[in-house]
Structure 1
């Protein structure tokens, strides 16, 4: 049996346990020894991170070869149009090559959205809009570069889901522990390098919160 830890990373928190520049980091919220992030999330992004003490599982969740889908809620500058949505779906050209096709749709502001500190800037003459974007790559600042490439710069970025795991019922700074049985936790790549997962329900879970 292995545990994973789902953490809702607040804005402007480093996705590591130490920082030489004194910025807020994971140790300000999580006091569990010998667990490590399975992938990172930018300092200026929010939302779901997965941590585990299982090195193999950490690799399988974070390695791009397994193409684990990640869904983001993205607030962009301007009223995004269908042409931009279609471009994101088909893949856009970035300076390090074209992106893979994505799942993209315009959405209303998410119901469970929390206030951000500091808030996103407001300009009365320029609207903002929201989209849901699901990608299976992990390039540096990829979502921000994708929306900029179609003419709608990202203002706020929240990772809502990784694979089957989401930030549902997790406030910023909270984490939830899932105890997973061996029949659940192993991602296996088939010959097309696509992940498969046994979708049995986790055996148990608890919820913890640390307030610094």
Structure 2
């Protein structure tokens, strides 16, 4: 998912997702759907109630935002790719979409009951991933939830691990370098822990444990 510039108003000169956006849901959607279902279930639990506002940072084509809206939540989706947001806005379902930096959205602090970050941390340089997570914590009110899905280290499931590594390599050299660093440092759980959060055990795992969904109370 795309979002790593510095101002809400800035539109990127080149949209790296312009080619993949029209087919993204067809190619990646079947893999992401069960993960998004688990994230939606997590967003609908605890302090987050039907009708509450949640924000989806690096929302991409809006698949998760659409699912959360269908579950009765008021959703704001944020992404820096115009092509991805074009696909997202075609879904309808009352989601508000913003072309903005997920690390500096310009949205009001503590304005949301929950925040979702789906497969966005592993593809960014560490400092940008930390900035996105800091923005999530800024946006969520005390007692709210930050729900994160991303890659985790796991024994076994070698075929799934090889497939993920291949996809990340095909995404480009910079993307793959960020993925490798993310995994060498322990994956999603370790990333959250280094940030000072306690992710605990994942709520759900997919692809032989290679993907985890984590929910953290703010």
Structure (1/2) with the larger helix percentage: 2
TM-score (norm 2): 0.26
- When Rg is computed on C-alpha atoms for both structures, the one with the higher figure is 1
Structure (1/2) with the larger strand percentage: 1
TM-score (norm 1): 0.27
